[in-house]
Amino acid sequence: MAKYIYQYKNWPNFTWNEEEIQVILGKVRHLQGKLFGQMSALGFSIKEETLLAVLIVDVLKSSEIEGENLDYEQVRSSIAKKLGLDYNDTIYPSRAIEGVVEMMLDATQNLDQPLDEERLFNWHAALFPTGRSGMHKIETACYRTGEMQIVSGPMGKERVHYQAPPPTVMKKEMDVFLNWFNNDSSLDLVVKSAVAHFWFIIIHPFDDGNGRIARALSDLLLARSENSTFRFYSLSKQILFEKKVYYAMLQEVQQSDGDITKWILWFLNSLYRALKSTEESIKNILRKADFWDIHKETILNSRQRLMLNKLLGDFIGKLKTSKWAKMAKCSQDTALRDIKDLIEKGILKLEDSGGRSTTYELKEF
């Protein structure tokens, strides 16, 4: 039977092909710098809005990878309140959501704090506030004391995908990991993010939540690589999109003799794809910023501002008077007056659809 990576004598002295890594790392670093520069030039309120949107996606998608779907509005409310953003609502997030959010914000906003046992235990306790994972009672805020296997399939026909190191070595393994995490400055931080993610998953120090904590560690090191608490892309969103390959790659490299080139290449390429998709959304953010710069003196009511932000962002379908009324919570007469006012101001125009109902769209600006 093939050995696991931690069973080789050279564990945990990972190796990789530096030449292969440098090609994609150069592309990642270039795009990272370019996008960070573009975002830094934006106004405070748009940066705030972008940060909120990215953190929401990160929390939702990291949990989704584990098959857990969190409530969007509760996540949004929790993050906004914790960041001190103006978000008036009457939503009260569950303890579980508050915990996930606290972990993610601690990782990305307190990036200069050292990573120690207590901090990791706090993250773990925050992820499982009831001391349960689903219906199962688990050990929280401490390293696991039981064996850990990753299995799939029905009872009696389980297939073992991975057998983690025994619980007796958890403390020793994690001391080595934490010492490296805090003190090794020989690696580019983006590469270190890839290594940390893999290394933590291999140790699998907790009863549950290892994947989410590994991704939080990656986010922490990526934040350090930019020396900024401002998040403008989500690696977890990209990993969810590539979930099958993510697990396949972990499974393949966990049985290598210490060479993790394949894992690092996949991680960096996935990060590059996350940045490329962010490049598209930044174009939309810049377009929105341009629009409000042009119309900073234009007199608009709160309904018009709300609907224009929707049209410049995530609006789906055709804009009709009825849809305006529903979204802006007003009568159809008021909606029509709002729309006609925007047509007179040269912001909206009738859409040339020729359909039975009248629809409107933004004029080019």
Residue 296 lies in a domain: no
Same-domain pairing of 92 and 44: yes
Same-domain pairing of 219 and 317: no
Q: Could you count the other beta carbons within 10 Å of the beta carbon of residue 305?
A: 14
* Domain end call among 226, 255, 288: 288
**pLDDT the model gives residue 44:** 82
Residue 294 lies in a domain: no
Q: CA nearest 346: which of 325, 322, 365, 327?
A: 365
Domain that holds residue 333: 301-362
* Domain end call among 259, 288, 317: 288
Same-domain pairing of 268 and 308: no
**pLDDT the model gives residue 88:** 65
Please give the Cα distance from 189 to 182 (Å, whole number).
Answer: 12
Burial per residue of 180-189, b for 16 or more beta-carbon CB atoms within 10 angstroms, e otherwise? bbeeeeeeeb
Q: Could you count the other beta carbons within 10 Å of the beta carbon of residue 137?
A: 11
Same-domain pairing of 245 and 323: no
**pLDDT the model gives residue 313:** 82
Same-domain pairing of 208 and 328: no
Same-domain pairing of 84 and 187: yes
Same-domain pairing of 308 and 256: no
Same-domain pairing of 237 and 151: yes
Give the domain CATH number at 9.
1.10.3290.10
Same-domain pairing of 310 and 243: no
* Domain end call among 288, 316, 332: 288
Residue 76 lies in a domain: yes
Say what the pTM is.
0.85
Residue 293 lies in a domain: no
**Do 349 and 361 meet the contact criterion of CB atoms below 8 Å apart?**
yes
Type of residue at 67? G
Same-domain pairing of 341 and 279: no
**pLDDT the model gives residue 166:** 97
Return per-residue pLDDT of the chain as tens, 365 residues. Answer: 679 999 999 999 999 999 999 999 999 999 999 999 988 887 788 888 888 989 999 999 999 999 999 999 999 999 999 998 866 677 889 999 999 999 999 999 999 999 999 999 999 999 999 999 988 999 999 999 999 998 888 888 888 889 999 999 999 999 999 999 999 999 999 999 999 999 999 999 999 999 999 999 999 999 999 999 999 999 999 999 999 999 999 999 999 999 999 999 999 999 999 999 988 888 888 888 889 989 999 999 999 999 999 999 878 889 999 999 999 999 999 999 999 999 999 999 998 765 668 999 999 88
Residue 268 lies in a domain: yes
Give the domain CATH number at 332.
1.10.10.10
**pLDDT the model gives residue 305:** 95
Same-domain pairing of 140 and 228: yes
Q: Specify the DSSP class assigned to residue 67.
A: T
Number of domains composing the chain: 2
Give the H/E segment covering residue 244.
Answer: helix 243-253
Residue 295 lies in a domain: no
Residue 207 lies in a domain: yes
Residue 102 lies in a domain: yes
Q: Determine if the peptide bond prior to 154 is cis (ω within 30°).
A: no
Q: To which residue do tokens 């290449």 refer?
A: 265
Same-domain pairing of 326 and 181: no
**pLDDT the model gives residue 257:** 96
